[in-house]
Chain A
Amino acid sequence: MEILVCARRVPDTSENDIQLNSAGNDIERDDLVYSINESDNYAVEEALQIAAKFGGSVTVATVGGEDDEEILRREMAMGANHGVLISDDAFAGSDGRGIATVLAAFVRKGRYDLILTGVQADDGAAQVGGMLAAMLDYPFASLVNSIEILDGNKLKVGREIAGGNREISEIDLPCVLSIQTGINEPRYVGMRGIRQVASIPIPTPSAAELGIDPATVGEMAARVKRIDYFVPALGKGAEMLSGSREENIDKVVNLIAAKGGLK
């Protein structure tokens, strides 16, 4: 089984407080810790487990620039056979449709039985997988939290639906699946592993090499554009307790008791 995983490098929200820059048109990116998008990492682990059981290879591709190479190295250290950095100035400013257009062109140059993405990027819209499938005219399933290989032509997949229930379907190959977090336990990657793959060449196909019309991607083609960021005010906001820890704890105990929680 030849498996492609489409991945992205994103600011790691578990490591960072996301703040606005002074102009309000972007988040403050100077001191952010970046990592592979969480659900994309689960997708790579799932691909590796399938390849280990049924043979084949795993390719991890991302659309981006030099900085994005680090996530490819990381996933190669996990065991991915190939990393591909699809890179061209023409791709800058692409919306989801633009990124899906680039990935579709890349898929058409190769031969993949199964294409995985993460469900959603932290700064994304849960859109690229479904768009890519539609462009390739492959079947698609989102929110996948189990995959079972039935034979060389089809899979049995579980989707996460409301209330912790799971919807089970059969899906023909080739197909695109968006992978939900929790589907597996991604293996640990140490610095040593990353050093071991440091010298493996990573191809960087361009728009021209993939036969992509630059007018269909990038900022000019983007129909959806972010104008600015702002900090939302959803509710009235909590009453923040600013006493010492001991004072705060006393207050919390009293509150729990007052609300009927100490009965």
Chain B
Amino acid sequence: MARIFAYILHKAGVADDSAAELISAARAIDPSAPLTAIVTGFGADLDVVCSGLRASYAEIWKISNEVLAYPNAELIRQALVKILPAGCVVLAAHEHFGIDLAPGLSIKTNASFVSDVIAIEGIEDSHLKLVRQEFGGQVSAHVRCDIASGVVITIRPGAFKQVENAAVNGIVVDKSSEIGALTARRRYLETIVAEAGDVDITKHNVLVSVGRGIQEKDNIGIAKELAEALGAAVSCSRPVVDAKWLEKSRQVGSSGKTVKPKVYLACGISGSFQHLAGLKGNPFIIAINKNPKAPIFQVADVGIVDDILEFLPELTTKVQEARGVSVK
């Protein structure tokens, strides 16, 4: 069996959660395959990450270079192409860095490529069987991938559960001298931190969250009225921000805010994994959607198939009545 390599994301000396999830993914491919972590970076943080990984990875390849202090996919790809053996399996997390790195890496190493994998069923005659989702999670697909000349796979964060592994006393191998000169035609300048909005949706216990089903900007008021009646805040999913109906600071999801409400009213939200990635703390999810097949109904606690444009105003009235009574 080919060797498996896991590219490790890290920040401030701490490996990302995906470092443990990639171990689970590697086991699903072939539990007996040798697994090596690859960590790139520079300085003391890099050494801290590498030694931290010794408990879970048998071998860690460290690549230290000043120009890798910030993870630039173009430079890291050049480094990986120099050191990866032919025909190997490369795993990376499917997030903004993996999306940048992985497709081009597969071309430069002449490997196959499968992205955003949520399950791995194993190998049959040099083909790997995996599961991906399409159409915003409405359907899943089994995919068969020829791995004879290697494969690059990005793994959906959270899809592979971290498992307790027997402690290994891994070794760190310094590969820094093998990567040669790196040249960037894309140069990192700065990170612009998201602007705070007028409302901090991360501080609310109840969120009235709207998605594409709200249909137009003028209908946002329906959600605002309900939120006001509940003493809640209005949040939203990505299409609402893309359409400029609400500001970015109200977006829940991997590219927006991470929220921990007690109650989450998902109104006309289909429930893509990017959106659900922003929902933490196991809130009670009430989903209202016209489409009975919307993926949100798989993760919600309570679901209602209805038109939010009619349902929400009536709900607002009921909430006002209920509060009116309780106040008296």
Contacts and interface: CB of A to CB of B under 8 A. Distances in A.
Given A235-B299, A241-B303, A165 B103 contact: no
Contact of B96 (A96, A142, A170): A142
Interface string A200-232: 000000000000000000000001111111111
A249 interface: yes
B113 A164 contact: no
A165 B192 CA distance: 6
Contacts of A231: 138-140, 293
A12 B140 CA distance: 17
B141 A164 contact: no
Contact of B185 (A27, A100, A171): A171
Interface residues of B, number: 95
Contacts of B82: none
Contact of A226 (B72, B143, B251): B143
Contacts of A130: 99-100, 102-104, 107
Contacts of B263: 255-256, 259-261
Contacts of A13: 135-136, 138, 270
Contacts of B291: 17
B144 A161 contact: no
Contact of A20 (B114, B139, B232, B251): B139
Interface stretch (A80-88, A121-129, A191-199): A121-129
Interface size class of A (residues with CB under 8 A): 35 or more
Interface in A72-95: none
B286 A252 contact: yes
A139 B206 contact: no
Nearest to B190: A168
B106 interface: yes
Interface of A: 11, 13-14, 17-20, 27, 96-97, 100, 119, 122-131, 133-135, 139-143, 156, 158-172, 175, 181-182, 185, 223-235, 237-241, 245-246, 248-253, 255-257, 259-263
Interface of B: 72-74, 95-96, 99-100, 102-108, 112-116, 129, 132-146, 185-194, 205-206, 212, 230-232, 238-239, 241-242, 244, 248-249, 251, 254-258, 262-263, 265, 270, 284-287, 291-293, 295, 297-306, 310-311, 314-315, 318-319, 322-323, 326
